[in-house]
Structure 1
Amino acid sequence: MNKQLITLALVGLSTMPANAQINGDGYYRIQNAKSGRYMTLCDNHSKGIDYSATQAETGALETRGDKSNIISDPGSVFYIKKISGNEYNIISQGADMHSMTNYYIKIIESSYTKGAYRAYQTSKGYALYLADKGFKDGISYVTTSSDYKEYRDWYITPVSTETDNFIGITPNIESDGKYFASFYTGFAYDLASSGMKAYYISNVDEKSGIAVYKEISGTIPAKTPVYIECSSKDVADNKIKPLADNVAAISGNKLTGVFFSVGNWRSGHYNSVQFDEKTMRTLNVEDGKLVYNTATDLLATTEVCLKPGSNKNEDFANRTTIAHNTNYLSVANGTAASLKLLSEDEYKSTGINDITIDTCNKPANIYNLNGTIVRKNATSTEGLAKGIYLFNGKKIVVK
């Protein structure tokens, strides 16, 4: 088995305990019986197996003790499908482990902790069990070292909107009394709480500084970057229900999703997307209105490896990155820093074109799209900020 296959297999190992064969195929969370931390997939890479030490590098699997963080983290949710006996296929963050590794993962009941399970795979005659590394603070990662035998037992809990082990959206944006969040996950899902809505960006008018949004009705397909309108700022009011069966992908979505944003010096895992203000816009609020702009307040700060493979301190630095399980909007260099959001109907009704009017012989008031006068008895748009205005009964664009 080559190194890449071993790598992906070990990522799958992390999710193994999730199925627990008690409740059949479905979505689960995995909690270490001793540390209490939850497993979450934070990367899709591994350095493989060190045969001399009979260990596998499984730092792609973080463990976190903060349940409030886990509740909104799709990386903490694993779909486990029984194949036969104690072998399982695992799907997480859009990755089918068997299709990439060509073998399945083994799950057995623990004989040491009631109701817990152990997960392992064998290679060259060695059984490599997953264990929590055992750091004393809130974040650690998974290891196969025999030094952590007491951390090998994992509880498996089905994800359900009817229990406290649900998946919910934690909003981080408020606009016009409503709450929003950028979101991206590898599984299809329904919005399970009333009042929730999901939107994607169907068009970007870079000349006019507009991003056009469209609501998704029904199931949100897997790997669909969206922004969610939440029922409230309380995560318990913003539940989603993961679905095993996918639906057709949405065509024309201009958003790009990001699964991972990790820079972990302990495990050596670095997988992130650096933010570029020239070509990227992310969901934010400006003057109380939703926009896609270049503000970095809601983005992540992640340690990145400037020279992959390097161990020198000077080759690592903190950078602004796209937060995990969120999305960004790609734009052309030179696009306005802030893009106003309009629905498709609003955008069509504006009749926006590429006409730019700088002067006019007939004085008239100039209005913005909210109906507010921005200049009285004007004969020119010169000096106005870039945007769309009403002038002499026409909708115009100031570039």
Structure 2
Amino acid sequence: MAQVTSITDGYYRIKNAATRADGKQYVYVTGKYEAQPNATHDEAVTLPGTVIHLNVADTTINAEAVYNVKTLRSQGVDVINGYLLPALDKVRTELKAKLKEKLGSDALAQFAYSIFENDVLDKWDLNMHMKPVTTSDGRAAYYAYATVPSMQPLVDFWKTWGPFAGGALDSYPDLKAALERGDATATWKAVEQLAYGKIVATFGADNAMTQLVKGYIDNDRIHNGMTYYLISGGINKVDTNQTAYDPNNPTGTAHNEYDGSKAEFDFANNNADNYWGPELPAAGDAGMWILEKVDADNYFSVKPSAKMKGLNGKYYTTLYTDFPFQIVGDMTAYTIEGVNEKDANGYAFARVKSLGGAGTVVPAQTAVVLECPSENVADNQLLPTGTEEPATSSNRLCGNFFATAISGMTATDGTGATHAVTYSNLRAFNISTSDAKNPIGFYKVSSNVTTIPGNKAFLVLTDAEAQAKGFYLMFEDGSTTGIEQIETPAENLNHAVIYDLQGRRVTNPGKGIYIVNGKKVIIK
């Protein structure tokens, strides 16, 4: 794959530069705040959770050209704009507001506050960065890192202006005490707890991201003024003879060792004054990330099940992604516009609408049925493109980004309507193997199915619609994925139950295509 040496706004896969024995290097988003470098290249091709929208801005830090990460989004989660920046802004805003309130409005107080705002808070680096770097074998890669704000400027500010602040921080006694002692580390610990409190208030104590932050706080892994690099794997601290780290004898003294067996993220610092020595060199290439642009050479695709083959020789699957995608090749995307009532033979129809074939762009968060030429992923390519702006439509299909338990589940369809999902009203995409005609469509799930897979489309019905156990696909031209065609004179249909292709019952059909007793009929 081509190595990305300059980042432009678009869709990428992020691969760790270190090679794991199991080949799992690609970042795969598996939950709202959960991701791991746990996909192989072959898996990544068909996993929407490996497609990541990355947008950056050029900047310079310490005379080095780096990027500020503006967007880092996958599976409906933008960790930069949806979590990181809002959470940090809550802490900064709280500090600013509290101090401004307590300092008062006289000229000296306002002067002091301007110094606090301009020379302290506004100089904190609260961005995630990507810095170009080269791997040990010469590949173009990036460090992904962030710097924890140093509390020393805050301590210095308080030393000069604290006497004028009065009771400005009485609500935060630990923070005030640390500032009055001039202790930057203790000041950070107090701000850290303040930040954690704001995160809990916003996201809840049981939220996955809240628990992640708590783990780092509890284990004393985050320190003020230090830069942390995102790595794949883990760092183990080895205390050899309880001897402080000696760079001239790294393995004979206390040191860090990289553990590449862990398919997870960790953070490594590069602080040479650390008792255990800098962690980043121990991580090596595992601290570097290679970007691969999702394009014609590094495509995204779908792989239909072999059993989901229609009588027309095409294969069918469903898809629901956060990103919009353009259809490449001989494929067609469909939505479901509604379902009709059960007919005399027990068949009910899901009315299919074509969005288009090659060149068509399916909007973000649009659940679709995809008609594919084969099971081969190379034949079923899709190209992520555009922005994650969903489009409201008459599409009855619902989707979810992650595997979700049916019990207690809710789902939103293309119209924007939200439904409580039950075993009674849920219909999943499948093929009716109990029917000799093998129609492909949406069918009731058995009680031993407990979850709906991620990135799939499904139907949630009204009580009236749910009287039918399944709905096979009925296309706009009257064709189906498993029901045969019959040509017949109109006079032979006097006592038949007849529907048009929109699912409306017809009593006096003229020439055209109709559904008669579950079969597509061409009336001459």
TM-score, length of structure 2 as denominator length: 0.51
Candidates 301, 313, 331, aligned match of 1:168: 301
Q: Does 1:105 align with 2:255?
A: no
1:351, 1:225 → 2: CA distance? 21
Other-structure match for 1:328: 458
**1:256 paired to 2:386:** no
Report the CA distance shift for 1:136/1:111 in structure 2 as closer, same or farther (over 3 A). Answer: closer
* AA partner of residue 429 (structure 2): L
Supply the distance in 2 between the matched residues of 1:206 and 1:351 (Cα, whole angstroms): 8
- What is the match of residue 316 of structure 2? 180
Contact 1:192–1:241 (8 Å) recurs in 2:
yes
Distance 2:38 2:442 in 1: 31
Which shifted more, 75-84 or 247-256?
A: 247-256
Give the Cα separation in 2 of the matches to 1:142 and 1:32. 10
The number of equivalent residue pairs is 301
- Counterpart check, 1:83 vs 2:57: yes
Shift in Å, 1:197: 0.3
Identity of aligned residues (%): 26
Query: In structure 2, how many angstroms separate the alpha carbons of the residues matched to 1:61 and 1:272?
Result: 23
Structure having the higher Rg: 2
Aligned to 2:267: 144
Task: Give the structure 2 partner of residue 235 of structure 1.
Answer: 377
8 Å Cα contact 1:275-1:320 kept in structure 2: no
Check if 1:205 corresponds to 2:347: no
RMSD value, Cα: 3.6
Closer/same/farther in 2, CA of residues 145 and 323 from structure 1, 3 Å limit: farther
Whole-Å separation in 2 of the counterparts to 1:329 and 1:350:
18
Separation in 2 of the partners of 1:175 and 1:335?
A: 25
Taking the TM superposition and a 5 Å limit, the aligned residue runs for 1:1-399 are 22-34=6-18, 35=20, 36=23, 37-45=25-33, 60-85=34-59, 86-89=67-70, 90-100=72-82, 101-102=84-85, 104-110=127-133, 113=136, 114=138, 115-123=140-148, 124-133=224-233, 140-144=263-267, 149-150=283-284, 151-161=286-296, 163=297, 165-172=298-305, 173-176=308-311, 177-193=313-329, 195-205=330-340, 209-217=348-356, 218-245=360-387, 249-261=391-403, 276-286=422-432, 287-295=437-445, 320-333=450-463, 334-344=466-476, 346=478, 348-349=500-501, 352-353=504-505, 368-370=517-519
Give the 3 Å change call, closer, same or farther, for CA 203–19 of structure 1 in structure 2: farther
Distance 2:506 2:147 in 1: 64
The AA in structure 2 aligned to 1:43 is: G
The amino acid of 2:335's aligned partner reads Y
Q: CA deviation at 1:336?
A: 1.6
Question: Contact between 1:275 and 1:322, CA under 8 Å: does it hold in 2?
Answer: no
1:40 Cα deviation from its structure 2 partner = 1.2
Q: TM-score, normalising length from structure 1?
A: 0.66
Unaligned runs of 5+ in 2: 60-66, 86-125, 149-223, 235-258, 270-278, 412-419, 479-498, 508-515
**Distance in 2 of aligned mates of 1:187 and 1:349:** 31
Specify which structure has the bigger relative contact order, considering alpha-carbon pairs within 8 angstroms and separated by 6 or more residues.
Answer: 1
Letter matched to residue 279 of structure 1:
N
Q: Give the AA of the match of 2:283.
A: K
**Alpha-carbon distance in 1 for matches of 2:323, 2:426:** 25
Which is strand-richer, 1 or 2? 1
> Structure 1 regions of 5+ residues with no counterpart?
1-17, 46-59, 264-270, 302-318, 356-366, 373-392, 394-399
Describe the shift of the 1:206–1:21 C-alpha distance in structure 2 as closer, same or farther (beyond 3 A): farther
Structure 1 match to 2:489: none
User: Which whole-Å CA distance do the structure 2 matches of 1:41 and 1:152 have between them?
Assistant: 19
Shift of 1:33: 1.3
Question: Do the aligned partners of residues 169 and 112 (structure 1) sit closer, same or farther apart at CA in structure 2, a change above 3 Å counting?
Answer: closer
